[in-house]
C-alpha cells in the first residue's frame, strides 16, 4: 500500500478537468450532508489521492472542501506518480463506484467516452488484454449496452444542446436524435427551439428533425404565422379524437402546447412540414399503444378468459373501434 502522509491543504488544488466529469458535490445534497456529518464527527479518515507532480486532486475533492470548511490545516494524502493522461483517467476511474450517483447525462457521457478510449473498445472483439468489448465495459460501468451507445452519442452534441441535456430541458432520447445531425443542422434546430420554455418533449424534437428536408435546412425562421394555428389545432385534435374509447391514449396537453409554440417559430413552408411530421409521430405513437393493447387482449382471450360477460365487453369495445375506423376511411376518401 502507498504511504499516507499529512499534507497542508494549501498545497493541494482541484484537478482542472474535475468539473468536466463530475457535477458539483452540492448537486447531491443527501450524500454531501452525510459525508459532512461524518467529517465533522471523525475527521478525514480516507486519504485523498493526489498527483505527485502537480498537487492536483484525483480523488477527494469533497473531502478537501470539507476539511477547509472545518479549518483543518492538513489532510491525509496518498501521492500518485502519473502523467497527465493517466491522471485524467484516474480522475474518472477512482470514482467509478459512485458513477451511478452522477445525475448529469453529459458528464456521464464524458466519463464513458474517456473509459472507452482508454480500454480501446472495439465492438465484439478484444485483440489483447487492454481491449474490451462494449458488453464488457458496459458491465464494468454498470449500464446496459444500449445505454452505453446512447451516452456516447451525446458527446456529438453542440454545446447549447449539451447545456439543455445537462439542465434536463431535453432528454437523452432527444439528445441522441439530435446528435445524428451535423453541427450546422444542430445549430439550425437549436435556433428553432430556443424560444421554447421548460422541458421539450422528445416527440417534438424528432418531428422537427424529420421536417428538415435538404431544402428546408436553409430556411431561416421568420416571424410567427398565426394563420397556421387552425391547421395545427385540427391536425392534433383529429388524432386525439381518433380513439376516444381507449383510456390508454389520453390527450397530452403539454405536448400540444410545445408543438404549437415550435410550429410558430418556423416559416410557412416549414410549419406545414412540421405539422405533417408531428402528426405522423403522434399517429405512430398511438398505433404502438394499440398494438400493445391488441397483444394483451389476444393473450387474455386465448389463456385466461372464462367469463362470458367479459367477452361481451371486449366485443363491444372492438365494435366501437371498427366503427371509428370505418368513419376515418370515409373521411380520408
Domain that holds residue 145: 104-156
Residue 330 C-alpha cell reads as: 370515409
Q: How many CA atoms are closer than 13 Å to the CA of 25, on its beta-carbon side?
A: 18
| 66, 95, 124 - which closes a domain | 95
Same domain, 84 and 110: no
The residue that leads in pLDDT, 179 or 197, is 179
Same domain, 291 and 169: yes
Same domain, 306 and 317: yes
Buried b (16+ CB within 10 A) or exposed e, 314-331: eeeeeeeeeebeeeeeee
Same domain, 52 and 76: yes
Q: What is the DSSP string of 91-156?
A: HHHTTGGGGGG---HHHHHHHHHHHHHHHT-BTTB-SSTT---HHHHHHHHTS-HHHHHHHHHGGG
Same domain, 182 and 256: yes
Same domain, 321 and 276: yes
Residue 294 C-alpha cell reads as: 391488441
pLDDT tens digits, 321-333:
788 888 878 877 6
Task: Check if the beta carbon of residue 134 is closer than 8 Å to that of residue 94.
Answer: no
Determine the Cα–Cα distance for residues 257 and 235; give it in Å rounded to an integer: 13
Same domain, 167 and 314: yes
Per-residue model confidence (pLDDT) at position 323? 82
Find, among 124, 127, 327, 117, the residue nearest to 241 by Cα. 327
Task: Check if the beta carbon of residue 202 is closer than 8 Å to that of residue 177.
Answer: yes
Same domain, 228 and 241: yes
Q: Give the confidence band of 308 by pLDDT, cuts at 50, 70, 90.
A: confident
Same domain, 111 and 89: no
Same domain, 326 and 177: yes
pTM for the structure as a whole: 0.61
> What's the total number of domains in the chain?
3
Same domain, 178 and 147: no
φ/ψ (deg, to 5) at 41:
-85, -40
Q: Give the confidence band of 160 by pLDDT, cuts at 50, 70, 90.
A: very high
Residue 134 C-alpha cell reads as: 462494449
| 51, 72, 95 - which closes a domain | 95
Q: Do the strands 5-8 and 13-14 form a parallel or antiparallel pair, or are they unpaired? A: unpaired
Q: Provide the terminal-to-terminal Cα distance of the chain, rounded to the nearest Å.
A: 79
pLDDT of 117 higher than 80: yes
pLDDT of 220 higher than 50: no
| 49, 65, 95 - which closes a domain | 95
CATH code, domain with 60? 3.90.1530.10
Q: Do the strands 74-80 and 48-51 form a parallel or antiparallel pair, or are they unpaired? A: parallel
Task: Check if the beta carbon of residue 186 is closer than 8 Å to that of residue 177.
Answer: no
Q: Stretch 308-329: mean pLDDT, rounded?
A: 78
Find, among 155, 163, 216, the residue nearest to 190 by Cα. 163
φ/ψ (deg, to 5) at 290:
-65, -40
Same domain, 165 and 304: yes
Task: Check if the beta carbon of residue 249 is closer than 8 Å to that of residue 324.
Answer: no
Residues 6+ apart with CB under 8 A from 173: 150, 202
Amino acid at each position: 500500500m502507498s504511504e499516507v502522509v499529512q499534507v497542508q491543504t494549501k498545497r493541494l488544488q482541484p484537478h482542472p478537468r474535475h468539473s468536466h466529469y463530475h457535477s458539483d458535490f452540492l448537486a447531491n445534497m443527501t450524500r454531501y450532508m452525510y459525508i459532512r456529518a461524518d467529517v465533522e464527527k471523525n475527521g478525514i479518515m480516507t486519504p485523498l489521492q493526489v498527483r505527485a507532480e502537480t498537487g492536483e486532486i484525483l480523488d477527494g475533492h469533497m473531502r478537501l472542501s470539507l476539511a477547509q470548511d472545518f479549518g483543518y490545516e492538513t489532510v491525509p494524502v496518498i501521492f500518485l506518480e502519473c502523467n497527465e493522461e493517466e491522471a485524467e483517467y484516474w480522475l474518472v476511474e477512482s470514482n467509478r463506484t459512485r458513477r451511478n450517483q452522477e445525475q448529469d447525462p453529459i458528464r456521464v457521457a464524458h466519463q464513458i467516452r474517456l473509459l472507452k478510449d482508454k480500454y480501446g473498445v472495439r465492438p465484439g472483439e478484444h485483440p489483447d488484454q487492454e481491449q474490451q468489448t462494449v458488453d464488457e465495459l458496459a458491465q464494468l460501468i454498470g449500464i446496459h449496452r444500449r445505454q452505453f451507445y446512447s451516452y456516447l452519442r451525446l458527446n456529438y452534441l453542440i454545446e447549447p444542446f449539451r447545456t439543455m441535456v445537462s439542465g434536463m430541458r431535453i432528454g437523452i432520447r432527444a439528445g441522441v436524435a439530435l446528435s445524428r445531425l451535423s453541427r450546422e443542422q444542430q445549430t439550425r434546430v437549436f435556433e428553432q427551439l430556443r424560444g421554447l420554455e421548460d422541458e421539450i418533449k422528445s416527440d417534438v424534437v424528432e418531428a422537427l428533425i424529420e421536417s428538415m428536408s435538404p431544402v428546408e435546412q436553409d430556411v431561416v425562421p421568420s416571424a410567427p404565422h398565426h394563420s397556421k394555428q387552425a391547421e395545427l389545432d385540427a391536425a392534433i385534435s383529429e388524432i386525439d379524437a381518433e380513439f376516444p374509447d381507449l383510456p390508454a391514449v389520453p390527450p397530452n396537453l403539454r405536448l400540444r402546447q410545445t408543438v404549437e409554440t415550435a410550429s410558430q417559430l418556423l416559416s410557412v413552408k416549414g410549419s406545414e412540414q412540421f405539422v405533417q411530421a408531428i402528426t405522423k409521430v403522434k399517429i405512430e405513437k398511438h398505433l404502438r399503444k394499440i398494438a400493445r393493447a391488441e397483444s394483451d387482449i389476444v393473450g387474455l382471450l386465448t389463456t385466461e378468459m372464462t367469463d362470458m360477460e367479459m367477452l361481451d365487453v371486449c366485443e363491444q369495445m372492438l365494435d366501437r373501434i371498427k366503427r371509428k375506423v370505418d368513419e376515418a376511411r370515409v373521411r380520408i376518401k
